[in-house]
Amino acid sequence: MKKIIAMILTVLMIATLFTGCSGTASNQAPSQASNDNGGATDEVVELKLGHIQSENDLWNEGAKKFKEEVEAKSNGKIKITIYPNSTLGGDRDMAEGMQIGTVDFALIAGVLGNFEQSIQLLELPYLFSSEEQFAKVVHGEVGKEISERVLKSSDIRILNFWDRGARQVTSNKPINSLADIKGLKIRLPEIKAMVETWKAMGASPTTMAWNEVYTGLEQRVIDAQENPIPFIYGGKIHEVQKYLAMTNHKYEYVTLSMSEKTYAKLTPEQQKIINDAAQVATDYENQLVKEKTGEILEAMKSEGLQVTTPDTAEFAAAAKQAHEAFAKTVDLDLYKKIVEAIQ
C-alpha cells in the first residue's frame, strides 16, 4: 500500500511540474515573444494601417504599395492590413491609437499639430508658393526637426512625407476674387493655422471630420471645402459641389506615420524593412500624384464641375497678415527658419 501511495504522489508531482511550465509559456503571445537577443521571434507580425479616404483614392494605392513592399522584404513575416474609409476612426482617433499602440500606421497630416504645435507651421496657407519650396522644407533640416519634435511629444514616428498636390476650393458659387471668400462657410480640418488664416482672408470657417463633409455639403450646412484634387475626387465632392477654384493656397502633404510603441517592438532588421518600404511607397505615391492629378481634374470637369482661376495675389496678401501672429503662438524661430529656407 505504501508503495502505491508513493507512486501516486510521484505522478502528481510530475504532473504539477509540467502544468506550471506550460502555464508560463502560454502567457506570452507569439507576436510579442522575445528571443535570447531581446528581438521578436520568427512568428508573423500582423500590423494595421488606417486612413480616412476611400479604396479608390491615391492614398490607398500608396498604402497598398507600402504593404506589398513590407511583406515582400520580410518574406511574409510582417503582414499589414489596410483599413480605409475611417474604419479605424478619424485622424485624431488614429493619432491617439498610435500613441497607445492600438493603431500601428496611419496616413495623417495636420491633426498632428494637436500633439506637437510646430508641425502646424507647415499648414499656413500661402506660406509656400511652389511645390519645390515645400519639398525643400519638409525633406530638409526643418522637416527633420519637426519629425523629431512630433516623436518626442507624441510617440508618433513620421516615416515620410507624401506629396498630395496643391489644395483647391470647391463651392456652391464661383470664386473669382477675394471678395467671393467673404463670409464663406468653408469646412476646414481641425488645424488652427488654417482656421486663423482663412479668417484673415474673410471666410467663416468651421472644422468638421472628413467623413461628415459630403453630407454637410449636400445638406448645405457648409458652402465650401478645400483639398487637393485627387482627394476631392476620392471623396466624390464634385457630386455635391458645382465649382472649383484653383487657389493653390497650400502645397499639401500627408505623413506615413507609425506608432513608436509598435516600432520599438520590432528588431533592427524589421525596422529597416519598414523604413525602406516607406521610402519606396513615398516615391511611388509622389509620382502617382504628379501623373494623375491632371487626369482627375479633367474627369471631374467632364462630369460638370466648373473651374475658375482667380488671381491669387490678393488671397496670399490677406493670408500672410496672419502668419507671423500665428507663428508667435507656436515657434517664431522655427517659422523664420522656414522662411529663410524658401528664400
Distance of CA 116 to the CA centre of its chain: 14
Report yes or no on 115 lying in a domain.
Answer: yes
Instruction: Give the domain extent around 258.
Output: 42-342
Can you give the pTM of this predicted structure?
A: 0.80
Is the pLDDT higher at 328 or at 5? 328
The reply to whether 2 falls in a domain is: no
**C-alpha span between 85 and 144 (Å, rounded):** 29
Pairing of strands 105-108, 251-259: antiparallel
Range 218-235 average pLDDT: 95
How do 251-259 and 156-171 pair as beta strands? antiparallel
pLDDT at position 19 over 70: no
Say yes or no to pLDDT of 132 above 70: yes
Q: Is position 36 within any domain?
A: no
81 domain residue, yes or no? yes
Whether 166 and 131 have beta carbons less than 8 Å apart is answered as yes
Residue 23 lies in a domain: no
Residue 41: the pLDDT is 56
Q: How many domains does the chain have?
A: 1
H or E segment at 1?
A: none
Give the pLDDT confidence of 37-87 residue by residue, as tens digits: 444 457 999 999 999 988 988 999 999 999 999 999 999 999 999 999 999
Q: 169 vs 12, which has greater pLDDT? A: 169
Residue position matching grid coordinates 519639398 = 135
Average pLDDT, the chain: 89
Residue 125 lies in a domain: yes
Q: Is residue 301 part of a domain?
A: yes
Q: Above 90 in pLDDT, residue 35?
A: no
For 261-301, how does the pLDDT look when each residue is reduced to its tens digit (9 = 90+)?
999 999 999 999 999 999 999 999 999 999 999 999 999 99
Question: Is residue 10 situated within a structural domain?
Answer: no
**Contact of 123 with 252, CB cutoff 8 Å:** no
CATH code, domain carrying 244: 3.40.190.170
CA distances from 68 to 64, 77, 173, 258, 296 (A): 6, 12, 43, 17, 25
| Phi-psi group of 248: left, alpha or beta (phi > 0 → left; psi -120 to 50 → alpha; rest → beta) | left
The pLDDT tens digits of the residues spanning 78-102 come to 999 999 999 999 999 999 999 999 9
